[in-house]
Amino acid sequence: MIAVIDYGMGNLRSVQKALEFVGAKVVVTHDIDLILNADSVVLPGVGAFKDCMENLKKLELIDPLRKFIDSGKPFLGICLGLQVLFEESEEFGPVDGLGILPGKVVKFPNGEAGQGKASSLKIPHMGWNQIKVKKDLPLFEGIGDAPYLYFVHSYHVVPENLEMIATVTHHGVEFVSGIQHKNIYAFQFHPEKSQTLGLSILEKFSNLN
């Protein structure tokens, strides 16, 4: 059973439907017992970092999330679900994140002095873009070295530990679009919106157990 965490934000139903399409058993929930007893957990999210953290606190989900990740069972973060794993975000901040991974979340350059080509950068970064695979992960089997996947975001993560970088993408600047650390897999792109390749990633995640 995969628990998709419902904390009042994000594209929960599209994640649920995509996982069910590839044959996974899914529950959308904020029930702590269901989350802790799940075989794997998905934390999706679209919206503001601060709102996400406030909602997780109100639902008392922060400690259960940390406990689940400490259990070693597979965890997948999508978009905002990637960003909140880190220590802080500069979005309306700084705002503290879950602090599970060292690093921070920063905004794309907005064309200030010295940014050069970034002056014409479209923010949010929205639509299809290539990822460059940096780690040979089971989730990436069969998708190629530079597939196109779907993005919607204005901020990106800057991990302190470069060894956790799984994919990078170029949008004005090169940014980290995916990480993997122990049992944690987390992506800035939306596999549930990325058609066949995204479904392939979700299917392989659902089979990690």
Q: List, by residue number, the catalytic residues.
A: 79, 190, 192
Angle CA 2–48–98, to nearest 5: 60
Count, in order, helices (H) and strands (E) of the chain.
6, 14
Please list, in sequence order, all residues whose beta carbon lies within 8 angstroms of the beta carbon of residue 81, skipping any fewer than 6 positions away.
Answer: 10, 42, 43, 44, 45, 186
With 0-12 / 13-18 / 19 or more C-beta atoms within 10 angstroms meaning exposed / middle / buried, residue 27 is middle
Q: How many residues does the chain have?
A: 209
Look up tokens 């929930």; give the residue.
29
| CA terminus-to-terminus distance, the chain | 10
What is the C-alpha separation between 89 and 50, in angstroms, rounded?
8
Angle CA 161–10–54, to nearest 5: 70
Whether residue 5 contacts residue 41, with contact meaning beta carbons closer than 8 Å, is answered with yes
